[in-house]
Structure 1
Amino acid sequence: MTLLAYQVFQTVVEQGSFRKASEILNLTPSAVSHAISAMEQELGFSLFARSKSGISLTNYGEKLLPYINAVLNSEESLKQAVSQLNGLQQGIVKVGCFSSVCTNWMTDIIHSFAEEYPGIKLEIYQGTYADVAYWIKNGIVDMGFLSVSSAGDLPIEPLCKDPLLCVVPKTFSKAKASEKMTIEEMRECIFVSQMESTDADIQKFLRENNLNVQSAYHVVDDLSTIAIVAEGFGICIMPELVMRDIPYSVDVYPLEPPACRIIGISVLNPDFMAPAVKTLYRHVIEKYKKENISDVG
């Protein structure tokens, strides 16, 4: 099998379509189909399940994907190392991020990084914590932003603390006349809850404080959660970073006791990064790592 065949396979997976992959690779659809068929014949098993609704990876294809990504990432690392030896800073870095980092940090990172390293291109993938962790582990992205509590067994470099806040509708009647929201005040409240893959830190906070949340509202994205709260259907816990420039009319209270999530940057192997990946990794740390993050337990 050739690197081109691996590139075809990876692109078909990313695009979910032979036709879209052919457009990206500037190949004919028949050439893409032939490359996949030749791979399957050589391997002795099918990589994709084909149906009227589209294509999906077979179990064998799922297992093979991380290895093919690793081969292609190694090729990219080799190109970057050669460029570095020639005194150039070139390459492509694929970055995974969750919603609030994407909306608050990524444009600034793209601009500031391009000014210093115009030869290195960034590709951004937005998803949930679970998506980003999966992408890192399977070589789909080179590095990703996660919270420390959602990283699992992935190595992560903590960058900053992001305080958790209680978000309530404007009509909310607070039991205590204070500027903070206590655990006891929240016990009797209806919550708008997100899936744990989206808000692992909030679910952790609820468990640690024995807040047994009962909710009829199970949503994925931050804005939908806050929109439901704004209409008076419950309260929610949100990181401070999410609440910047929110278009909905709500009230926000710091938590008592205080709580936060720790945002960090993660790579599969910190000791082995391609030159361009290492350059971006250092750039992010210099830009966002806070001095007081060292006391994170």
Structure 2
Amino acid sequence: MDIKQFALLEDLNKTGSITSSAQRLGSTQSGISHTIKKLEKEWHIKLLKRTNHGVELTSEAKYLLPYMQSTLVQYTRFKEALDAINGLSTGSITIGSYSSIAKHWLPTLLQRFNQTYPQIQIHVREGDYDEIMQWIGQGTVDFGFISQSGQSNFMFLPFQKEMLYAVVCEKQTKDVMPIHELEQYPYIASEIGVDNDVSATLRQAGIQPHVICYCKEDASIVAMVKQGLGITILPELSLKGLDVNTYPLDPPAYRTLGIMYKSEDVLSAADKALIEIAKEIIEKKD
């Protein structure tokens, strides 16, 4: 058992293809098949199963995957520490992020970081609140660009407070949307776990909207609203660049965006450098 075998199983989980993983890892199909058979014999479990589209990890392998991913992260940290001792500037950072943040914040941030640390690779995993929190807990991302929603044992570094808006098809005569009026309209909602900030706002106001459709992607929700199927609430960043009628809620509602991480101890020097650049750039946007 070695770290390359963990990396192989993680890659097979991503690609679902022995051929693709062989190309990505500089191996051969027969070499990968031999490694998998050797591991199955050593671990006494089945690791892969065939599908109509290729291969996928078995339930046993998927159960072990978070532990393998965490080990890979720690191994990367070890290599970075060793490289630092030897005076090298190499390594990688894995970030969890909302899609809206990945679209509007990360390009500028990562460009600045790359100019200073060109040898450090960046991996971005886009997900919703629950997914990113799970990745942080498992150690499969170093930190997450996320909102502060509910109680957590993790550390949170706030960057920006942004408003939540009512999104409607037809233009309104009012300048704001009273939140209690939301119950009068069909409502397009985010899937559970996707936008906890909006759910918390509705819950705190005692509002139970008449949900007719659930969507995961903000763009899909906006498309439903523009078609006249209902109204919704979305954060300011998710609406950036979209041609849609928006109105502040009455009373106003907000969410706080920032960086979530497990603890100061798990942050590498590269993580901390990226976070400092993020603070500088995002605070200038305000």
Q: What do the CA deviations read for 1:117-141 (whole angstroms, capped 9, x no partner)?
A: 1121211222222332233333332
Aligned to 1:265, what secondary structure does the other structure show? strand
2:155 paired residue number? 155
AA in 2 matched with 1:197: G
Structure 1 unaligned runs (5+)?
Answer: 293-297
Is the 1:133–1:151 Cα contact (8 Å) retained in structure 2?
Answer: no
In structure 2, what is the equivalent of residue 271 of structure 1? 265
One-letter amino acid of the counterpart of residue 277, structure 2: H
For the Cα contact (< 8 Å) 1:143–1:266, is it kept in 2?
Answer: yes
Equivalent residues in 2 for 1:111-190, closer than 5 Å: 111-149=111-149, 152-169=152-169, 171-174=170-173, 177=174, 179-190=175-186
What is the aligned partner in structure 1 of residue 240 from structure 2?
Answer: 244
Alpha-carbon deviations, 1:204-258, whole Å to 9, x = none? 1111112111122221111111122122221110101111111x3x221111111
8 Å contact from structure 1 (residues 65, 138) kept in 2: no
- Return structure 1 stretches of 4+ with deviation > 6 angstroms: none
Q: How does 1:41-80 map to 2 (within 5 A)?
A: 41-80=41-80
What CA distance in whole angstroms lies between the structure 2 residues aligned with 1:152 and 1:23?
40
Cα distance in 1 for partners of 2:184, 2:245 equals 18
Counterpart amino acid of residue 268 in structure 1: K
- By how many angstroms is 1:189 displaced? 1.7
Kept after mapping to 1: 8 A contact 2:73/2:140: no
Q: Deviations over 1:249-277 (max 9, x none)?
A: x2211111111111121223332223322
Give TM-score scaled by structure 2 length: 0.91
- 2:256 is aligned to 262
Letter in 1 for 2:249: L
Cα distance in 2 between the residues matched to 1:262 and 1:237 = 16
Q: Distance in 1 between matches of 2:72 and 2:136?
A: 14
Report Cα offsets for 1:80-103 as digits up to 9, x if no partner: 112222333321111121111011
Please state whether the residue corresponding to 1:215 is helix, strand or coil: strand
Q: Structure 1 127/266 Cα, relative in aligned 2: closer, same or farther at 3 Å?
A: same
Q: Deviations over 1:13-48 (max 9, x none)?
A: 222222221111010011112212211211111223
Match of 2:31 in 1: 31
Match in the other structure for 1:210: 206
Q: Distance in 1 between matches of 2:18 and 2:77?
A: 27
Equivalent pair of 1:92/1:122 in contact (CA under 8 Å)? yes
User: Alignment length, in residue pairs?
Assistant: 285
Structure 2 residue identity aligned to 1:45: I
Q: Secondary structure at the match of 1:224?
A: helix
Q: In the alignment, residue 280 of structure 1 is paired with which amino acid?
A: L
Consecutive unaligned residues in structure 2, runs of 5 or more: none
* Residues 89 and 276, structure 1, Cα contact 8 Å, conserved in 2: no
Secondary structure, aligned partner of 1:217: strand
Pair 1:132–1:109, CA change in 2 (3 A) = same
Greater shift after overlay, 42-51 or 27-36?
42-51
Shifted more, 86-95 versus 1-10: the winner is 86-95
CA shift, 1:153, in A, is 4.4
Aligned-pair RMSD on alpha carbons? 2.2
| Alpha-carbon distance in structure 2 between the residues aligned to 1:50 and 1:228 | 37
Residue number in structure 2 paired with 1:295: none
| More moved, 48-57 vs 266-275 | 48-57
State the distance in 2 between where 1:211 and 1:6 align: 47
Measure the CA separation in 2 of the matches of 1:214 and 1:270: 43
**Number of the residue aligned with 2:187:** 191
Give yes or no for contact 1:194–1:219 (8 Å, CA) kept in 2: yes
